[in-house]
Copies of this chain bind each other. A is one copy, B any other.
Amino acid sequence: MGRCTLGTATYLSARLSQLFRLPRSLHTMVGQKQKVAIIGSGNWGSAIAKIAGYNTARHTDIFEPIVNMYVYEEVINGKKLTEIINEDHVNTKYLPHARLPDNVVAVPNAEDAACGATLLVFVLPHQFIQNVCKSLKNSLAPDAHAISMIKGVDVSSHNISIYADVIEKALNIPCAALSGANIANEVAAGLFSETTVGYRPHQRHLAEYYVKLFDTPKFRVGMIEDVAGVSLCGALKNIVAIGAGLVDGLGWGGNAKAAIMRIGLMEMRRFSLEFFENVRPETFTETSAGVADLITTCYGGRNRKCAEAFVKTRKPFHVLEAELLNGQKLQGTETAKDVYEFLKARGKVDEYPLLRTIYEICFEGVDPSQLTERL
């Protein structure tokens, strides 16, 4: 078990249910409640921790009330961020305007945060995933399972993966995905939102835990059997949002912007159906993860904002990212590059004219006014 020791009762009941294949209803009877750990505590991680803390406290039949949240330790005005969160219940750095519930506990070490957790919520920048997963491997409870809220795709030339698959492989536990029209500050402020949980075939029972953990009257959680589709929506929409921002910068108006969004949605769906298995087309056109998140992102997101500035200033994207995003990362351009390199390796660039053209405008000096020439 590494340096993490599971509570004996939890461990025993979990082992019992594994050994004797007890029906799920009996899990609860022998005392196994879901123990939640949030791995990550940025803007979105903190917002989702607020919801998770609220729901573990009201569904005590299903969840242990304490929610551990892994917080990368930083010192803010002479005080540790974990101490600030545990004493004042506010993540002053990443979500300063929302109060976290008292049962959300900041833990400065990922392994400690995840110790004995059965339900892991991954919500941290993708470049840290592999290392964090390595450190967690020995902390997991039997029957542990995960949900990923990480945007982006992992590309190495001919291969492309979603991060739910990366986590599933690294930890050898099932991993679902959550994505939706979810600007973090709005969710944290309790404004009405929807989101979508994508689950694996035959794992609807795990998805039901995620719905219980996140659904509130103002944050409605839908489900679809499609981890890849939900994940790819979250990643690819950022490329389309770059296109929408280019239209804004060019002053081409609402018709052109809607056209780019429609064409982008169709290319997102085609790409996902072509290169991933078990993707459901309706994830893109019907769920919050699909069409709704695309809308929010193309009107309100940071990718749109930087792309508009790109047309108006002609500064490179890495300069605009530094100037405009206050330390946040510009995911759309990176994903555009990843997807382009993957398509090139597969000889399929020409079949995705919008994704191609956005890449070429961002990285190869093509003039933004060429955006629609090849569509």
> Measuring CB to CB, which residues of chain A are less than 8 angstroms from any residue of chain B?
180-183, 186-187, 189, 191-194, 218, 220, 252-259, 261-263, 265-266, 282, 285-288, 291-293, 295-296, 299-300, 372, 375
Number of copies: 2
* Inter-subunit contact A186/B286 (CB<8 Å): no
* Inter-subunit contact B186/A296 (CB<8 Å): no
Given contacts A266-B286, A285-B285, A295-B295, contact A186 B253 (CB under 8 A): yes
Please indicate which of the listed interface residues A180, A252, A258 has the most CB atoms of chain B within 10 Å of its own CB.
A258
* Inter-subunit contact B295/A192 (CB<8 Å): no
Residues of B within 8 A of A192 (CB): 252, 255-256, 259, 372
Beyond the given pairs A186-B253, A193-B256, 5 more chain A to chain B contacts, judged by CB atoms under 8 angstroms and listed by A's residue number, are A254-B295, A257-B295, A258-B288, A261-B291, A262-B286
Query: How distant is A186 from chain B, measured CB to nearest CB, in Å?
Result: 4
Distance A246 CA – B287 CA, assembled complex (angstroms): 22
Please indicate which of the listed interface residues A253, A255, A265, A285 has the most CB atoms of chain B within 10 Å of its own CB.
A255
* Inter-subunit contact A288/B262 (CB<8 Å): yes
Query: How distant is A162 from chain B, measured CB to nearest CB, in Å?
Result: 22
Residues of B within 8 A of A293 (CB): 258
Distance A306 CA – B296 CA, assembled complex (angstroms): 21
Query: How distant is A220 from chain B, measured CB to nearest CB, in Å?
Result: 8
Query: How distant is A44 from chain B, measured CB to nearest CB, in Å?
Result: 12
Distance A186 CA – B253 CA, assembled complex (angstroms): 7
**A181 interface neighbour in B254, B285, B296, Cβ under 8 Å:** B254
**A295 interface neighbour in B182, B258, B266, Cβ under 8 Å:** B258
* Inter-subunit contact A296/B258 (CB<8 Å): yes
* Inter-subunit contact B296/A285 (CB<8 Å): no
**A300 interface neighbour in B186, B254, B295, B296, Cβ under 8 Å:** B254
Query: How distant is A128 from chain B, measured CB to nearest CB, in Å?
Result: 26
Distance A183 CA – B299 CA, assembled complex (angstroms): 18
In terms of DSSP, what is the predominant structure of the interface of chain A? helix
Name the residue on B nearest A187 (C-beta): B255
Query: How distant is A194 from chain B, measured CB to nearest CB, in Å?
Result: 4
Residues of B within 8 A of A191 (CB): 252-253, 255-256
Query: How distant is A170 from chain B, measured CB to nearest CB, in Å?
Result: 31
* Inter-subunit contact A292/B259 (CB<8 Å): yes
Distance A228 CA – B315 CA, assembled complex (angstroms): 47
Distance A192 CA – B374 CA, assembled complex (angstroms): 12
Distance A95 CA – B76 CA, assembled complex (angstroms): 58
Name the residue on B nearest A301 (C-beta): B254
Distance A218 CA – B372 CA, assembled complex (angstroms): 9
* Inter-subunit contact A194/B292 (CB<8 Å): no
Query: How distant is A119 from chain B, measured CB to nearest CB, in Å?
Result: 24
Name the residue on B nearest A251 (C-beta): B191
Residues of B within 8 A of A282 (CB): 285
* Inter-subunit contact B194/A253 (CB<8 Å): no
Query: How distant is A106 from chain B, measured CB to nearest CB, in Å?
Result: 26
11 contacts between A and B (CB under 8 A): A180-B255, A181-B255, A187-B255, A193-B259, A194-B259, A194-B262, A220-B375, A257-B296, A258-B288, A262-B292, A285-B286
Query: How distant is A358 from chain B, measured CB to nearest CB, in Å?
Result: 15
Query: How distant is A173 from chain B, measured CB to nearest CB, in Å?
Result: 30
Residues of B within 8 A of A220 (CB): 259, 375
The 3 lowest CB-CB distance pairs between A and B, nearest first, are A285-B285, A193-B255, A181-B258
Distance A9 CA – B181 CA, assembled complex (angstroms): 60
Query: How distant is A61 from chain B, measured CB to nearest CB, in Å?
Result: 26
Distance A83 CA – B10 CA, assembled complex (angstroms): 87
